Amino acid sequence: GERRDPSGAGQEADGGGGPGGGAGPGLKAELKFLESIFDKDHERFRIVSWKLDELHCQFVLLPPPPGSGPQPPPPLTIHCNITESYPSSSPIWFVESDDPNLTSVLERLEDIKKSNTLLLQQLKRLICDLCRLYNLPQHPDVEMLDQPLPAGQNGTTEEVTSEEEEEEDMGEDIEDLDHYDMKEEEPVDGKKSEDEGIEKENLAILEKIRKNQRQDHLNGAVSGSVQASDRLMKELRDIYRSQSYKTGIYSVELVNDSLYEWHVKLLKVDPDSPLHSDLQVLKEKEGVEYILLNFSFKDNFPFDPPFVRVVSPVLTGGYVLGGGALCMELLTKQGWSSAYSIESVIMQINATLVKGKARVQFGANKNQYNLARAQQSYKSLVQIHEKNGKCSLYFRPRLHSILGFDIWQ
Q: For 318-352, how does the pLDDT look when each residue is reduced to its tens digit (9 = 90+)?
A: 888 888 988 888 888 888 888 889 999 999 999 99
Domains assigned to the chain: 24-153 (3.10.110), 195-403 (3.10.110.10)
SS3 assignment for the chain = CECCCCCCCCCCCCCCCECCCCCHHHHHHHHHHHHHHCCCCCCCEEEEEEECCEEEEEECCCCCCCCCCCCCCCCEEEEEECCCCCCCCCCEEEECCCCHHHHHHHHHHHHCCCCCCHHHHHHHHHHHHHHHHCCCCCCHHHHHHHCCCCHHHCCCCCHHHHHHHHHHHHCCHHHHCCCCCCCCCCCCCCCCCCCCCCCHHHHHHHHHHHHHHHHHHHHCCCCCCHHHHHHHHHHHHHHHCCHHHHCCCEEEEEHHHCCCEEEEEECCCCCCCHHHHHHHHHHHHHCCCCEEEEEECCCCCCCCCCEEEEEECCEECCCECHHHEECEHHHCCCCCCCCCCHHHHHHHHHHHHHHCCCEECCCCCHHHCCHHHHHHHHHHHHHHHHHHCCCCHHHHHHHHHHHCCCCCC
- Among the listed residues 57, 80, 131, 327, the single catalytic one is 327
Q: Does the global pTM surpass 0.85?
A: no
Confidence (pLDDT) at 191: 32
- Note if 327 is an active site residue: yes
| 70-104 pLDDT, tens digit each | 677 888 999 888 877 788 888 888 887 777 888 88
| 168-200 pLDDT, tens digit each | 444 434 334 344 444 444 444 533 567 788 999
